[in-house]
Amino acid sequence: MPSFALRDFTASIVVFLVAMPLCMGIAVASGVPPEKGLITGIIGGIVVGLLAGSPLQVSGPAAGLAVIVFEIVRDQGLSALGPILLLAGLIQIAAGIFRLGGWFRAISPAVVHGMLAGIGLLIVAGQYHVLFDAKPLPSGLDNLAAMPARLLGLAPGEPGSALSAFVIGTLTIACMLGWERFRPAALKLVPGALVGILAATFAALLFGLDVVRVNVPDSLASAIDLPGADTLASFANPVIIATAIAIAFIASAETLLSAAAVDRMHDGVRTDYNKELRAQGVGNLLCGAVGSIPMTGVIVRSSANVQAGAMTRMSAVLHGIWILGFVALLPWLLREIPMAALAGILVVTGWRLVSLQHVKHLLQQYGRFPALIWAGTFVMVVAADLLTGVLTGLALSMLELVPHLKRIRLKVEDRKESASREIALDGAATFVALPKVSAMLDTVPSDQKVKIDLSRVDHVDHTFAEMLREWLGRRKRAGHAVEVTGARGRVAQLVHAG
């Protein structure tokens, strides 16, 4: 067996062990049966894995979409999910065909991270109630307000009481965090979520606890819901169209953010963003066709894939095959998992999305306004809904352009020579120009010396600065010659910060 095939095989096992509890947990957080998440994981692994433009990214159910799916199921019913995902998948395919992938990269990191932080807090608030074998309340604010009463109402009771479930959920969190902090070096690839699930399941069996457990069917085929006769008619429903656009937009942004992060983890083939968009569109189209939940590229599984030594896309494909085989052959084992254990994993996952490090980074490196964009997005996601939060963040990002409207059109001179290349920028370097400039930078051969002249740039916003810094860092880490000249004052600070 070639060395790359062996490394892909072992990496696929690691990703499979990470993905199984997350697929089920995110489905539960989305308000649908856990097998829906497993179906999405299978499609994301096998189908999207084969078509992906990011060779080491893993796709599957994403915590970032759990809140919006929960709201769809609550307000429109599970049957609405199929038509919405069919339309969202078509939108993503069209975006890839018309090469719009670069524009998703131009979304402010403050908006994306503010959105993820808001989603993380909503997941924590909702799954906190599941720790007590209770159902989440209708809104995020209701869940947050009811948290103290849920804990204060906890009292020892008969088997099946909230106390048993809370002990199981707490055990899961403790084992997950404890393993990740103290695990032996030889077992560093064993995921903490798996350890938490195993410990909670064995404890519930050993002590005969009467807690709510995962309910999956004997046959995965019974969980497939094909589109009905009224699917085409639903495409004319304005609510369905608006929701599909929102899911396509958010899923694409999260996927390409994850792909960019994965690219920073390795020095292999870079992501083809438009190809990745098309692959995600096919995946979500299939998810809509079988009635499962939406997918994105996911950073937790993708980083596990890279750290486990994956070399090609076959590791992602194989992980999807392992999920399919496990669900087909061992559904009885999944039915022993306590629901509170899945809630414990999601509480940790959600809390990690509420990362204050990013807003601290924005404040220190770029000033108050980008931090305000983060905060505005975060608050509106929690207080209103996901779409309102994202639109608020985008509107605040547009305000950042106002002082620089006279120089908003960035002129780019690209002077090519046999052994070197000089790129000169003139104007305000903002997210508006990011797709054009990033696409140009990605075409620079690795063996070519590059000089970037910023002498005529009088402003760099945080989105453009983050892109340029990442590209410069990747070139320098790989040992490729690159020189930046003419940067002065605040522009030099932003480009070379961090």
Task: Look up the CATH number of the domain holding residue 439.
Answer: 3.30.750.24
How far from 205 is each of 134, 174, 220, 337, CA to CA, in Å? 20, 18, 25, 9
Does residue 348 sit within a domain?
Answer: no
Q: What is the pLDDT of residue 265?
A: 78
**What is the rounded distance in angstroms from the CA atom of residue 22 to the CA atom of residue 300?**
10
Q: What is the pLDDT of residue 59?
A: 97
| 305 and 418, same domain (yes or no) | no
| 331 and 422, same domain (yes or no) | no
| 334 and 444, same domain (yes or no) | no
Does residue 351 sit within a domain?
Answer: no
Last residue within a domain, chosen from 296, 322, 341: 341
Tally the domains of the chain.
2
Does residue 492 sit within a domain?
Answer: yes
Q: Which residues of the chain have pLDDT under 50?
A: 157-159, 498
| 62 and 180, same domain (yes or no) | yes
Does residue 391 sit within a domain?
Answer: no
Alpha helices in 405-446 (DSSP H): 434-442
Which class for 461: exposed (0-12), middle (13-18), buried (19 or more C-beta within 10 A)? buried
| 325 and 442, same domain (yes or no) | no
**What is the rounded distance in angstroms from the CA atom of residue 141 to the CA atom of residue 259?**
32
Answer for the pair 90, 308: CB distance below 8 angstroms, yes or no: no
| 428 and 331, same domain (yes or no) | no
Q: What is the pTM of this model?
A: 0.88
Q: How many CB atoms lie within 10 A of CB 159?
A: 11
Domain carrying residue 457: 405-496
| 196 and 113, same domain (yes or no) | yes
Query: Tens digit of pLDDT for each residue in 104-135?
Result: 888 888 998 898 899 899 999 999 999 999 98
**What is the rounded distance in angstroms from the CA atom of residue 430 to the CA atom of residue 428?**
6
Answer for the pair 17, 319: CB distance below 8 angstroms, yes or no: no
| 289 and 424, same domain (yes or no) | no
Q: What is the pLDDT of residue 498?
A: 47
Does residue 388 sit within a domain?
Answer: no
Does residue 138 sit within a domain?
Answer: yes
Query: What Rg, from alpha-carbon coordinates, does the chain have?
Result: 23
| 304 and 434, same domain (yes or no) | no
Does residue 168 sit within a domain?
Answer: yes
| 295 and 439, same domain (yes or no) | no
Q: Residue 135: which residues within 8 A CB-CB, separation 6 or more?
A: 129
Please say whether the dihedral angle defined by the alpha carbons of residues 435, 497, 390 and 299, taken in this order, is positive or negative. Answer: positive
Answer for the pair 496, 487: CB distance below 8 angstroms, yes or no: yes
